A and B are shown apart, each in its own frame.
Chain A
Amino acid sequence: MAEIAREIREGFLCPVCMKDLGTVTQLQSHFEEAHSSTEDKAVGHQIKELFDKAKRTILGKKENNYSFASTQGSLGGAYGVAKSSDGLRYSIDYWEPQEIGQTRSRTDEFRALRGSRVDRYVVETNKLLIRMDKLIAPDSPPHSDSSKRKAFEKTVVMWMPDADLKHCPTCGRTFSITKRRHHCRLCGSIMCDKCSHFLTYEYARKLTNPAFQFDGDSGFLKRSGSSSSLNSMFSSDGDPQIRCCLECRKLLERREQLMDQRNKKPSIVLLYEKMKECTDECERLLETYLPMSESLSAGESTYSLQEAQIIRAKLVRLYEVIDQLSKKIVGLGLNAEELPTIKQMAIQKSIRTFATGFMHDNMIGLQSLPSEEQYQKLQEARKAEIQKRIAMERAATIEAQEKEKREREKVKNRDLLPDKGLRQNSSDEQTERTNSQVHRGWKPVENSVRVTNEDPMLQQMEIIRSYIKQAKQANKWDEVKMLEENLRDLQREYASQQRQTWS
């Protein structure tokens, strides 16, 4: 993942012609001379922003230089894109980022309207459940003692007086001596024997106690044939039952459905949840793994190789699990007698597509880690690269300073006022920049630098010395080594310069 699509050039690049100008002032004057008339103001504005940002970063106030360098790189890149799109093309980021459009929630209004209606069901159902719980309580009077039982049942719910109804409210038949009135034990209403429903204790226990296991198909028994009302209190195997009306039965069944939905999960859901857990875990791990592998394959020593290897192994294992689970989901029900429906299969397939898509997006990016030897080689290569870059930077800096010096001399010739402050500043900035490119994550503070000499080379050496000191304190031996080399180079350069001036 360390591959970067295009080369990021660093330095004081002119965003229009990509020329490296070496110093801020040079760049500014170059831009004013060469590009002020051409191009639109937008670029000028960008430049200005860039300068502000650059100043801020160079003075080490806020962001570190790393972000500075990358902004500059991306600015050049962005411009390149804009340039190539002179012919119109569809751009995905059409204009600026955009907040999501207006939305309005009607949920509260909906809930309020629904609430008044649904409350009735809930209250009714709860009442039934409480009564049922009392009826099946072990200390309630047994069915064998029918008069006592009846009295008890009447205390649970008020029975509707017999005289109130002459017809069965469900089937409409007239009550008589042969067609007797019966009471629902749960709500106390009246119906005929034919219209009565019976629920088993088992079922009642299941409804009142969620932990209770119930295996029967339906908890309700329909009144069978002509057996007497007393017998009907018991099912065939002698278990007692509760007589109730159709309304109560509906409410109870509704309640049962809801409970089932909450408690039972089909196997596809169980498998799917497991799979999702794995993908979530993967995403978490990837977040830590990706920067690790990137930095390791660049030869940096921020993370330990072993640690990365452990995480990688974990990820690979998770991918295997995801793969297996999703395969299992696709195969669900294929061996059963009843094949799953088309839609069901479509879902299962989609889940598999999701899983392969997920693995695809993430596993292909799961770059292999370098081996121990490779890693060492990489580290060395990086060091060499950094040193090479420093050397180049320095050459550029010196060249730029020379140029600036010459130009300033020209200016001086015209206008004999010396301009020390500016000159010092610019060279200070220069050193700071050159150096801190070495340190990512470690930043020297400029406090100990005392400006004793006007020569920028000497100043730079002074600064580097102070950095070396700081780096030593911070135990960054890599950096110390590099800085020392840096310093030696500078000294050599300075010496040769001195000779030139004297000769």
Chain B
Amino acid sequence: MNVILAIKQYISKMIEESGPGMKVLLMDKETTSIVSVVYAQSEILQKEVYLFERIDAGGRETMKHLKCICFLRPTRENVQLLAEELRMPKYGLYYIYFSNVISKQDVKVLAEADDQEVVREVQEFFGDYIAVNPQLFTLNITGCYQGLNWSQNALKRTVQGLTSVLLSLKKCPMIRYQNSSEMARQLAENVRQTISKDAALFEFRKTDVPPVLLILDRRDDAVTPLLNQWTYQAMVHELLGIYNNRINLSNVPGVSKDLQEVVLSAEHDEFYANNMYLNFGEIGTNIKELMEDFQSKSQSHAKVESISDMKAFIENYPQFKKMSGTVSKHVTVVGELSRLVGKQNLLEVSEAEQELACQDDHSASLQKIKSLLSNDKVTQLDMLRLVMLYALRYESHSNNDVSGLVETLKRKGISDKHRTMVSAILEFGGRKARGSDLFGSQDPVAFTKKLFKGLKGVENVYTQHKPLLHSILDQLIKGKLKEAAYPYLGTSQLKDRPQEIIVFYIGGTTYEESLSVLQLVKSSPGVRIILGGTSVHNLKSFLEEISTAHQGHTPSQISSRR
């Protein structure tokens, strides 16, 4: 189970099927993301695809000597645009691939438009999601909550995305969902309906233990997306933002022009692949090594005296050039991260966050937050983050001082819109919204564990937190996940321990959780897990998510201010 590989295989199959000759790849907005995340342009170029076009872009030229590979989502607009295209074909031949099931009606519309017989293939290749890491996918939907219910468009897209993941991995799973979430139940129900509607598609070779699809709701764990991160990938996303593997560095002071937007892709960048899960301290040393290695290489390149030197230089040059690109990219990114860490006092902020999330000392935490709120280095976003965490953590504490903290935020000049987030997060992921014991205060086992941990002291204060997902999956792997809290859809139940798990977070997942999944996989041989979400959150995108959820629910409060 590897989602990146699944998408890559689809795309190379498409290109292969069209045979030799010059090709153009015609995509829509979403499929462009799907393809660009897994393939570098240069890589596709070597497969004779010389032109990339968007179907909704005007002014495409007629080039009959090109074969056209269309990779499109089966939306109504796309079908219409494609039908127009076929009536006046711009390219010689068309090989059409839809990223999901296409209706009979739409096939007919296209067939009737193709009176010049330019279409060679019409197929469904189920790559209808964005594969971020081999074990992580996203649908890039923000705002799936409308009020605290499904936005219908988002639900439809999520069902399509999730079923396409199943199809691309050839899995027909048993479905479990979080009982406390009506949205999780709805999604589970919808996925099952889709499966039974196209039962023939979902007929795969049976494995001994059927795979499990577990559907969770972000509202059960609103803490994880609020935390600052210290592993490379997660940290870059939190502080700079990763969107389809791209990072915008144009705000970095003194950045050179060609580094204003960089691509971080583990498929094509070895340094990133080796370091994306390491924490910030380790990356510092690794990047130093990288630099030194590079310097020694560039020195050896500096003296080209003999012919054999020259030859060696030419042979190594492309590698060298690639390396210099990697070095300058990572040096810039890591440099910016450490600048922000210092400037925004992130170590202290993060320590306070982790204490809030993992320990149980109300007065100490409150003290710390108060002192951080009066620290000028701390950004407004981090202040908000701390107060939101505090509100969630000590929601029912008798001495809780949420109102006092919100008052401080106001004095600090934090906007109304942002301050309402504090009450919004309580509504979104507060005690009433949760089905599970997020802070481990009720379950005696978890409680003692925590106590022991407190006694032993923690290895790294900045990475104490383990997401709720970790314990849910751990229980699922051990066959101990409670049925009352996570029931099966339908009557059949799994007797053995599951080996293949696909877990999906409504409301978005995080890179911290992705790493957690990888750790679990490593510690439990034979178990494979894929994690997905409507999106991959950092604090900013999570605030947006909460705000749309809040908006629909109590329209009077925020919408008037927009």
The residues of A with any CB-CB pair to B shorter than 8 Å are: 40, 42, 87-92, 94-95, 98-107, 109-111, 113-114, 117-118, 121, 254, 258, 261, 265-266, 268-269, 272, 276, 341, 343-344, 346-347, 350-351, 353-354, 357-358, 360-361, 364
B550 at the A interface (CB under 8 A) = no
B280 contacts the other chain (CB 8 A): no
On whether the beta carbons of B112 and A114 are closer than 8 Å, the reply is yes
Contact with A along B495-507 (1 / 0, CB 8 A): 0000000000000
A305 vs chain B, min Cβ distance (A): 21
Judged by a CB distance under 8 angstroms, whether B92 is at the interface is yes
Known: A261-B92, A265-B65. A110 touches B170 (CB 8 A): no
Return the contact of B168 from the options A91, A92, A102 (Cβ within 8 A).
A102
The answer to whether A101 and B9 have CB atoms under 8 Å apart is: yes
- Contact present for A276 and B45 (CB under 8 Å): no
Q: Which listed residue (B45, B120, B274) contacts A354, Cβ 8 A?
A: B45
| Contact status of A90 and B276, CB under 8 A, knowing A106-B107, A113-B108, A117-B112 | yes
Q: CB-nearest residue of chain B relative to A121?
A: B115
Identify which of residues 382-440 in chain B touch chain A, using a CB-to-CB cut-off of 8 Å: none
Contacts of A261 in B (CB 8 A): 64, 92
Pair B111/A114 contact, Cβ less than 8 Å = yes
| Any A CB within 8 A of the CB of B134 | yes
Cβ A113 vs Cβ B112 within 8 A: yes
Enumerate the 9 nearest inter-chain pairs by beta-carbon distance, A residue then B residue, closest first.
A101-B168, A113-B111, A94-B134, A350-B50, A114-B111, A90-B273, A102-B167, A90-B266, A88-B277
Which residues on A sit within 8 Å (CB–CB) of B184?
Answer: none
Interface: B304 (CB within 8 A): no
In the complex, what's the smallest C-beta–C-beta distance from B484 to chain A, in angstroms?
Answer: 32
Whether the pair B9, A100 counts as a contact (CB closer than 8 A) is: yes
Q: Are A40 and B122 in contact (CB under 8 A)?
A: no
A–B complex contacts, Cβ < 8 Å, 12 sampled: A88-B518, A89-B274, A94-B135, A101-B126, A102-B204, A103-B125, A104-B201, A111-B111, A343-B60, A344-B61, A347-B50, A358-B46
Q: Is the CB of B525 within 8 A of A88?
A: no
- Complex: chain A residue closest to B275, CB-CB: A89
For the complex, what is the distance from the CA of A410 to the CA of B256, rounded to whole Å?
74
Q: Given the complex, which residues of B lie within 8 Å of A91, measured CB to CB?
A: 134, 273
Chain A CB within 8 A of B533 CB? no
Known: A343-B61, A343-B63. A94 touches B273 (CB 8 A): no
The digit string for B51-70, where 1 denotes a CB below 8 A from any CB of A, is 10000000011011110000
Q: Are A90 and B133 also in contact (CB < 8 A) when A100-B9, A261-B64 are?
A: yes
| CA of A341 to CA of B63, assembled, Å | 11
B5 at the interface (CB under 8 A from A): yes
Given A109-B122, A351-B22, 11 new contacts (CB under 8 A): A88-B278, A88-B518, A98-B2, A100-B6, A101-B125, A103-B124, A107-B123, A109-B104, A113-B107, A113-B112, A350-B50
Interface check B519, CB cutoff 8 A: yes
Is the beta-carbon distance between B10 and A101 smaller than 8 angstroms? yes
Give the docked Cα–Cα distance between A109 and B109 (Å). Answer: 12
Question: With a CB–CB cut-off of 8 A, which chain A residues contact B9?
Answer: 98, 100-101
- CB of B176 within 8 Å of the partner chain: no
Chain B residues 508 to 522 lying within 8 A of chain A, measured CB to CB, are 515, 518-519, 522
- What distance in Å separates the Cβ of A382 from its nearest Cβ neighbour in chain B? 23
CA distance A392 to B88 in the complex (A): 75
Tell me the complex Cα distance, A218–B51, Å.
32
Rounded to whole angstroms, the CA-CA distance of A92 and B268 in the bound complex is 10
Identify which of A89, A109, A266, A343 contacts B65 (C-beta below 8 A): A266
With contacts A95-B2, A101-B167 taken as known, whether A114 is within 8 angstroms of B125 at the C-beta atoms is no
Within 8 A of A (CB), among B88-114: 92, 101-102, 104, 107-108, 110-112, 114
Closest Cβ–Cβ distance, residue A297 to chain B (whole Å): 15
The residue of chain A having its C-beta at the shortest distance from the C-beta of B204 within the complex is A102
From the candidates B10, B115, B204, name the one contacting A117 in the complex (CB within 8 A): B115
Point out the residue from A88, A89, A95, A353 that lies within 8 Å of B45, measured CB to CB: A353
In Å, the complex CA distance between A345 and B205 comes to 49
Instruction: Decide yes or no: A99 and B51 within 8 Å by CB, A88-B518, A354-B45 being known contacts.
Output: no
Given contacts A88-B277, A100-B10, A104-B201, contact A353 B42 (CB under 8 A): yes
A114 touches which of B114, B127, B274, B275 (Cβ 8 Å): B114
Tell me, yes or no, whether B334 is within 8 Å of chain A by CB. Answer: no
**Residues on A with beta carbons closer than 8 Å to the beta carbon of B104:** 109
Give chain B residues whose Cβ lies under 8 Å from the Cβ of A40.
525
Q: Roughly how many angstroms separate A104 CA and B125 CA in the complex, as a whole number?
A: 7
Closest residue to B521 on the A side, CB-wise?
Answer: A95
| A341 CB contacts on chain B under 8 angstroms | 61
Q: What is the minimal beta-carbon distance from B134 to any residue of chain A, in angstroms?
A: 4
Q: Give residues 249-300 of B contacting A (CB, 8 Å).
A: 266-267, 272-278, 282
- CB-defined contacts of A103 to chain B, threshold 8 Å: 10, 13, 123-126
- Of A90, A102, A107, which contacts B277 at CB under 8 A? A90
Closest to B205 in A: A99
**Residues in B whose Cβ lies below 8 Å from that of A107:** 120-123
* 0/1 string, B141-175, CB within 8 A of A gives 1: 00000000000000000000000000111100000
The verdict on B318 contacting chain A, using a C-beta distance below 8 Å, is: yes
Please measure, in the bound complex, the distance between the C-alpha atom of A347 and the C-alpha atom of B91, giving whole angstroms.
14
Residues of B within 8 A of A272 (CB): 22
Contact, CB under 8 Å: A269 / B65: yes
Q: How far does the alpha carbon of A99 sit from the alpha carbon of B45 in the complex, in Å? A: 24
Residues in A with CB closer than 8 Å to B192 are none
A268 to B51, CA, bound (A): 15
Tell me which of A106, A121, A269, A347 contacts B124 (CB under 8 A): A106
In the bound complex, CA of A258 to CA of B118 (Å)? 10
Residue of B1, B20, B66 near A276 (CB, 8 A) is B20
A-chain residues with CB within 8 Å of residue B522 when the two chains form the complex? 88
User: A276 CA to B50 CA in the complex, in Å?
Assistant: 14
Q: For the complex, give the distance between the alpha carbons of A86 and B129 in Å.
A: 30
Q: From residue A40, how far is it (CB to closest CB) to chain B in Å?
A: 7
A110 near B50: Cβ-Cβ < 8 Å: no
Decide if B126 touches A102 in the complex (CB within 8 Å): yes
Q: Are A101 and B45 in contact (CB under 8 A)?
A: no
Q: How far is the CA of A268 from the CA of B50 in the complex (A)?
A: 13
Which of A87, A121, A344, A360 contacts B278, CB < 8 Å?
A: A87
Interface centre among B2, B45, B66, B276 (most CB of A within 10 A): B2
Counting chain B CB atoms within 10 Å of each CB, the highest count among A110, A354, A361 belongs to: A110
